[in-house]
């Protein structure tokens, strides 16, 4: 499946998917023992109705699965949607699945997200979270170099601990955490993916996770064009 690069070392890969807009339609029509063989304008109107009126269970029959490689700070924001999906979807049990690589078991070379000199952002003027404009190149260059030095120090101590026979699950304590890339599989319904997009494509979302949300949208919009268009509008996103 195709891979979309994100940030300097990250990516989003579509692993698998199940269903289509027609799946949504037929899940809704089963109440009347009816089925559509091809998506018609009548079916499109039904999808619009379902999204507009909040009848979301049919959208949970279409599923997408991704492999994602992202900094830990992005992964932990993302994880909230797995935890919260049971409450949001009203199912009593989450339809999302998340399996992440663990440095308890693997010791592959760590990779870190390091913003370039022109990628550091200032703090916002009127908010306690988020970011403002890009800072000067000179100041950004200073912090890029300092971050790289910090990472190198942590890596050297991590490798020294492993060389001394310290177990991987404890040696990882030396690694700078938030910028370290982690890899995981995320499986979600189209409704759950749309809810993620509704919040992480917004202008006030952290820029790094916005970039991943754009990659998710690029992957799945061709697969479920009508459903995504309607759910995106329902979630008050205009793109």
Question: Active-site residues: which are they?
Answer: 200
Q: Which two structure tokens, joined as six digits, stand for 23?
A: 């799946």
- Beta-bridged to residue 180, according to DSSP, are 112
- The 8 Å CB, 24+ separation contacts for 211-217 are 211/6, 211/7, 212/6, 212/10, 212/12, 212/68, 212/70, 212/74, 212/78, 215/4, 215/6, 215/11, 215/12, 216/12, 216/66
Terminal CA-CA length for the chain: 26
Q: How far apart are CA 10 and CA 81, in angstroms?
A: 20
Tell whether the torsion through CA atoms of 96, 185, 159 and 165 is positive or negative.
Answer: positive
**In this structure, are strands 3-6 and 97-100 parallel, antiparallel, or unpaired?**
unpaired
- CB-CB contact of 84 with 195 (8 Å): no
Cβ atoms of 85 and 192 closer than 8 Å? yes
């Amino acid at each position: 499946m195709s891979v979309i690069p994100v940030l300097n070392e990250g990516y989003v890969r579509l692993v698998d998917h199940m269903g289509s807009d027609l799946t949504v339609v037929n899940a809704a029509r089963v109440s009347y023992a009816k089925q559509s063989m091809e998506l018609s304008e009548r079916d499109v109107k039904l999808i619009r109705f379902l999204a507009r009126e909040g009848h979301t269970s049919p959208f949970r029959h279409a599923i997408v699965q991704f492999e994602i490689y992202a900094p830990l700070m992005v992964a932990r924001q993302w994880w909230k949607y797995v935890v919260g999906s049971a409450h949001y979807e009203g199912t009593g049990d989450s339809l999302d699945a998340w399996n992440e690589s663990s440095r308890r078991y693997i010791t592959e070379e760590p990779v870190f997200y390091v913003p370039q000199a022109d990628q550091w952002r200032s703090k916002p003027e009127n908010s306690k979270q988020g970011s403002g404009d890009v800072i000067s190149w000179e100041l950004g260059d200073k912090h890029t170099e300092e971050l790289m030095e910090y990472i190198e120090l942590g890596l050297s101590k991590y490798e020294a601990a492993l060389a001394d026979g310290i177990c991987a699950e404890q040696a990882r304590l030396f690694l700078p955490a938030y910028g370290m890339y982690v890899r995981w599989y995320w499986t979600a319904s189209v409704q759950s993916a749309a809810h993620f997009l509704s919040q992480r494509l917004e202008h006030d979302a952290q820029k790094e996770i916005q970039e991943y949300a754009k990659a998710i949208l690029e992957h799945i919009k061709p697969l479920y064009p009508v459903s995504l268009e309607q759910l995106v509008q329902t979630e008050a996103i205009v793109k």
